[in-house]
Structure 1
Amino acid sequence: MSVRIDEIDRKILMALQEDAGQSLDEIARKAGSSKTPVWNRIQKMKKSGMIQGQTAVLDAEALGFESCFFVLIRTSQHAASWKEQFMNALNARPEVMEAHRLAGDIDYILKVRVTNARAYDKFYQALIDDVDIYNVTALLSMEEIINNRPLPLREG
């Protein structure tokens, strides 16, 4: 569902994506408005679900999570019970940064952050112990080129 936003909303959202911890004064300045209307707009966007929270972006490598794997999963099972078991297995593993169900030959892709290849193998072994998976392919990211890019909220 697409939500209509105006130019001030767009500027507020861009400022929040840039740094959600900046002051309301700074966000208002960037939006070309004053604090109270900007605060009201932010509250409205939170209530609508457009803004889902605020988080800090951590440097994974600086914290020892030097390996990023993209895990391609194929399954021969598509029953709701299997999907529930799979989702429970993923939710139990904090290494899973993202999970997407795909169209095409691959059913799911996971973004997994671990300290090293040995830690990935432990993750992999635990996952296949918990849920029946037809095929797993792991791709090691050699270099992160773009991360945390803001949504392109420009009109057009």
Structure 2
Amino acid sequence: MDIRIDDTDRKIMAALQRDAGRSLDEIAREVGSSKTPVWNRIRKLRDAGVIGPQTVVLDAEALGFEACFFVLIRTSEHESKWQKKFLHALQTRPEVQEAHRLAGDIDYILKVRVKNARAYDAFYQALISEVRVYNVTALLSMEEIKSTTALPL
């Protein structure tokens, strides 16, 4: 679906990115409109797939998930059967918050959130027992400096 996005749509999306839990009245006031047109624009953006599902951002450390690892994976396997098995392994593991296929020397990078190093090792052992990989490098994040899901509208 082709959709034209104007400045008001951008203001609405920016407001939703900051806090989608606010009332429609608050968002409408912020963007200088009224409730019904804002609701219609949000519905149009959802229907077009520009706005995805609403979720809640949880504080990982407050819930005991204190370790964040970035896992670099190199593989010598590039057949579709291996890729399907690998993707299934990633999708079924809740520890994997993000997974990206890369261009260059590294084939994949994962963002893995776990309680501690022992929990990461359990994740790692389970992954390599299910899928064969050539090389795995895990990098522990010492400090999260910036984390956002907001796009620069």
TM-score normalized by the length of structure 2: 0.96
Instruction: Provide, for residues 45-76 of structure 1, a one-character-per-residue CA deviation record: whole Å limited to 9, x for no partner.
Output: 11111011111111000000000000000011
| % identical aligned pairs | 72
Note the C-alpha offset of 1:2: 9.0
Matched, 1:95 2:75: no
In structure 2, the CA distance between the partners of 1:2 and 1:73, relative to structure 1 (3 Å rule), is farther
Instruction: Letter of the 1:42 partner, please give it.
Output: I
In the aligned structure 1, how far is the partner of 2:13 from the partner of 2:106?
A: 33
Residue correspondences, number: 153
Partner of 1:52: 52
In structure 2, the CA distance between the partners of 1:2 and 1:122, relative to structure 1 (3 Å rule), is farther
Partner of 2:137: 137
Partner of 2:75: 75
When structure 1 is superposed on structure 2, of 10-19 and 74-83 the one drifting more is: 74-83
- Structure 1: unaligned runs, 5 residues or longer: none
Q: CA RMSD in A?
A: 1.4
Partner of 1:36: 36
Instruction: Provide, for residues 112-150 of structure 1, a one-character-per-residue CA deviation record: whole Å limited to 9, x for no partner.
Output: 000000000000000000001010000000000101251
Instruction: Letter of the 1:16 partner, please give it.
Output: L
- Displaced runs of 4 or more, over 2 A: 1-4
